[in-house]
Structure 1
Amino acid sequence: MSISDHSYEVIDLLAHERGLTRDKLNPSDRLLHDLGMDGDDAVDFFNSVHERFGTDLTHLHEHWSEHFGPEGFSLWNGLVIIPAAVIGGAVAGMTDLSAFWGFVIAVVLLTAGFWAIRRWGPPDTTVPITVAEVVAAVESGTWPSRPQR
């Protein structure tokens, strides 16, 4: 199998996993940051890579938490979602607005809260993995002990 075949197959697999078309993916795309692949989605994708190509992913699994977060609800999300929902409902209730407007208020507060967390919250320390790095691992048959940066 040629290098271009591996690239084509990895991009095909990734497009299928993410529900995208091939032309939306680039070798420089980062799985977490650009494609939103995290938690169980990342686990499923790399399981598919291993099953399809036989790539040894031992080194990736040893450093998994450096690249991806856990599946589910983070503390930071809770610190935004719960107060936004309570405030939205309370404002709508106290001002005789419909539930729709309470929902709109909550969405506006959520957007502002997530923006504030991205801007002033804890720094993102995850090490990105690009599509090209996945292709390189497939071609070599193993995930590198430390990706080249």
Structure 2
Amino acid sequence: MCSQIETDVKAFIATFTGCTRESVQPESTLFGDLGIDGDDAVEFFESFSKKFEIDITGFNFQHHFGTEGSGALAAFNWIKMLFRTGSPEDKACIEAITIENLVLAAERKTWRNLDSSA
């Protein structure tokens, strides 16, 4: 059974992404499963931290998401990803954020100690 915070977090994610609440599972990842990246990730975390009153001081976007962009560097990064194996996060050389991580942050009101890089 889901806690109220988990229900609220799933509802927030479903609204943000346009997916159904049922498709948002604790092990779902923002980048690989829900396609949140770049500027969308910044917007997501700004809205998420405000809605759930979470201190995201020290949160490092670059450890979890790519940058939006175009041009030669973006094309080169996509080509490199084609030849890597593993999860989408492994291929992009970033750390996954799961829905379970977000629920825990909402419960604790901080991102500290959830991010191994913080």
TM-score by length of structure 1 reads: 0.64
Q: Which one of the candidate residues 127, 132, 135 is aligned to 2:95? A: 127
**% identity of equivalent residues:** 32
Structure 2 gaps of 5+ residues are 86-90
Amino acid corresponding to residue 136 of structure 1 in structure 2: L
What is aligned with 2:61? 64
TM-score by length of structure 2 reads: 0.79
Distance 1:140 1:46 in 2: 16
Using a 3 Å threshold, how does the CA distance of structure 1 residues 120 and 49 change in structure 2: closer, same or farther? closer
**Offset at residue 146 of structure 1 (A):** 4.6
| Cα deviation 1:81-140 (Å, max 9, x = unaligned) | xxxxxxxxxxxxxxxxxxxxxxxxxxxxxxxx96x851259x531001001101100100
Q: Which runs of 4+ in 1 moved over 4 A?
A: none
Question: Larger Cα Rg: Structure 1 or Structure 2?
Answer: 1
What is aligned with 1:14? 13
- Name the one with the larger helix percent: 1
Q: Which one of the candidate residues 99, 105, 108 is aligned to 1:137? A: 105
Total equivalences in the alignment: 111
Structure 1 gaps of 5+ residues are 80-112
Using a 3 Å threshold, how does the CA distance of structure 1 residues 117 and 126 change in structure 2: closer, same or farther? closer
Amino acid corresponding to residue 70 of structure 1 in structure 2: T
